[in-house]
Amino acid sequence: MPTYDYECLRCKKTFEIFQKISDRAPSCPHCGGDVKKLISCGSGLIFKGSGFYITDYKKKNLNNASSNKNSSTNSK
């Protein structure tokens, strides 16, 4: 279930609620007024752990290209 941010239309306080998508908008816990749902940009994508760069994004022939440059400069 996602966390939603709401702002009270009466007292202008903001709060978060962990609820289903199908649930109705709650009333303000501070004053009982009507609320509006705030649009948030969410959280950033964070890759943790080892292997993401090596297995998914690293150029495959980076080591081969550098070894070819070294061998061509040594042969001249």
Query: pLDDT by residue (tens digit) across 14-47?
Result: 999 999 989 999 999 999 999 999 987 666 667 6
Instruction: Please state the domain extents for the chain.
Output: 3-40+47-75
For the entire predicted model, the pTM comes to: 0.52
Q: For residue 62, is pLDDT > 80?
A: no
| pLDDT for the residue 17 | 92
The DSSP secondary structure of the chain, one letter per residue, reads --EEEEEETTT--EEEEE--TTSPP---TTT---EEEPP---PPP---SSSHIIIIIS-TTHHHHHHHHHHHHHH-
Report the pLDDT value the prediction gives residue 13, as an integer from 0 to 100. Answer: 95
- Of 47, 36, 43, 40, the C-alpha closest to 13 is 36
